[in-house]
Amino acid sequence: MKELLVHLLICPFCLPVEAELKCLISEKEGEDILSGSLYCSQCNNSYPIQEGVAILLPMPSETDSRAPSKYESPELLSSYLWAHYADIFEDMDATAAYEQWAGQLRNDSGISLDAGCAVGRFTFEMSKKSAFAVGIDNSHAFIKTARQLMINRQMGFSIPEEGLLREQRIIKLPETWDSSKVEFVVGDVLRLPFRRDAFSSVSSLNLVDKVPLPLVHIRELNRVARESHGQLLFSDPFSWSSDVSREENWLGGTADGPYSGKGFDNILLLLTGETGELLPPWEVENQGHIWWKIRNHENHFELIRSCFIMARR
């Protein structure tokens, strides 16, 4: 973990109190802390930094989904490497989704946060538009892989063709992508381990329907985003599922309850301050949808309409 991140971090377990973390370094290479820990003197918790990866997960809590995450599996890792980088290795089935999302962002001189970053494509996109970008995800496999790409700048992986047949692909990061401007950490988007007001740009792509407490995630995104001169990019297909989150916690897709109706409309109301949940309110600058694709095998893709909101305050 790059040392410059330390001043942004707080203890995720102590939230809503933002308790400082003290960094104890065991091994360092240049600016990169390879091993050590981040210690909270309020709760006595210590968060490890192992092989360069900071693991900032809160203690087991109501935000845990208990079942082992599918996002740790080799199949999903390969699927997300394809979804994030297929345009870079010029796969004929790739979409330009991440460039299109990035096209919504304005350049700014602050720090960006990509919540639920998976294997890091949008974090790299955000780093091109800001001084530095941080990706956070609770999948160790995804974050380890994103960091390997950041450091080695190229990576081979295999994609399923048919049955047991697989083909090799190589991702080579374009020279214009600057590895010194990105970092990836393991953490929970329901308890972001960052200070209030830390980020000038925040994004949540295809995530809100994948967390057990969607409103808590949106509140957390709002907490860490700057109160003025901030931008927020939200996008989601609203595939609500009771496997992930209890129906009463969905932010849409139900006929009654405080968030009945469509998730997109409810997120708009939340962001613009109509519900009094998110203050200061955001101003919606643009909205629309972007087609995003996940590849299962050579002849099987999931085509996803991800509905976005670009907001500023």
78 binds ligand SAM (CB under 6 A): no
| Smallest distance from ligand SAM to CB 145, Å | 11
Among 2, 12, 38, 71, binds ligand SAM (CB under 6 A): 71
Among 138, 145, 200, 201, binds ligand SAM (CB under 6 A): 138
The interaxial angle of helices 140-152 and 74-85, nearest 10 deg, is: 50
232 binds ligand SAM (CB under 6 A): no
169 binds ligand SAM (CB under 6 A): no
Distance from C-alpha of 151 to C-alpha of 268, rounded to nearest angstrom: 38
Nearer to ligand SAM, 94 or 190 (CB): 190
Return the closest-CA partner of residue 236 out of 287, 188, 308, 293.
Answer: 308
Binding residue count for ligand SAM, defined by CB under 6 A: 16
Q: Which stretch binds ligand SAM (CB under 6 A): 123-131, 205-213, 257-265, 279-287?
A: 205-213
Per DSSP, which regions of 60-181 are E strands? 111-115, 132-137, 154-162, 165-172
Print the binding letters for residues 105-134 with ligand SAM: x by CB under 6 A, - otherwise: -----------xxx----------------
Sign of CA dihedral 271, 272, 277, 278: positive
> Residue 300: enclosing H or E segment and its boundaries?
strand 300-312
251 binds ligand SAM (CB under 6 A): no
- Asked whether 53 and 147 are in contact (CB, 8 A), the reply is yes
DSSP letters spanning 179-206: GGGEEEEEEBTTB--B-TT-BSEEEEES
Q: What's the length of the chain? A: 313
Q: Which stretch binds ligand SAM (CB under 6 A): 12-20, 22-30, 137-145, 149-157?
A: 137-145
223 binds ligand SAM (CB under 6 A): no
| Smallest distance from ligand SAM to CB 137, Å | 4
Residues that bind ligand SAM (CB under 6 A): 71, 116-118, 137-139, 142, 188-190, 205-207, 210-211
